[in-house]
Amino acid sequence: MEVKNRYIGKIYTPFKKGDDIPRQSIAWQKTRGKIEIYPEFVEGLNDLDKFSHIYVIFRFHKNDSFHLSVRPPGSKKQRGLFATRSPHRPAGIGLSIYKIDKIEDNVIFVEGVDVIDNTPVLDIKPYVPKVDIITDAKVGDI
C-alpha cells in the first residue's frame, strides 16, 4: 500500500551530506536549524511558543532503501530494523525532538537538529512531559 503525505514545511540545517549528521539530536543539542512552515499552515503555529520542545515528524527524502535486519553503529549484533533508529525505513519517516529557540512568523528556530538540510516536514507536535515521559520504560540492548 502506498500513502501520500502532505508536507507542511522544510527543515534547514548546517548538514549538507549524510555523513555530517549526528546520530541523535541529544548528542548535538546546540546545533541550530530552522523549520519553515508553508503559508497555508502558519495558523497552526498559534500557541506553539508556549512549549519549550517539539516532536518533528519528517521524511528521510534522501533514503530510498532499507533492510529488515541491520547492525547499528557500535554494535556487533544484527537487529531487526524496528528495534533500531536507522534512518533507512520502509516508509521513510523520522521523528526527532527539538528545543524551540523562538518563532518568528512562519519560522521555528530550533536547537538539536539531526537531519540533512532541506528535509521535508510532515507534522509537528508539542512535547508534553507529564504525558510523554514513561518512567518505567524498558530499553533494549542499544
Please give the share of the chain, as a percent, with pLDDT higher than 70. 91
Assess whether pLDDT exceeds 70 at residue 55: yes
Give the angle subtended at the CA of 9 by the CAs of 6 and 13, to the nearest 5°.
135
Could you name the CATH architecture of 9-129?
A: Beta Barrel (2.40)
> 57-107: per-residue pLDDT in tens?
999 888 788 888 988 877 888 988 888 877 888 888 999 999 999 999 999
What does the pLDDT read at residue 26? 57
Assess whether pLDDT exceeds 60 at residue 34: yes
Residue 13, beta-bridge partner list: none
List the chain domain ranges: 9-129
Alpha-carbon dihedral 96, 59, 121, 134, rounded to 10 degrees: -30
What does the pLDDT read at residue 97? 92
The Cα–Cα gap between 106 and 89 comes to: 29
Residue 67: φ, ψ to 5°: -130, 140
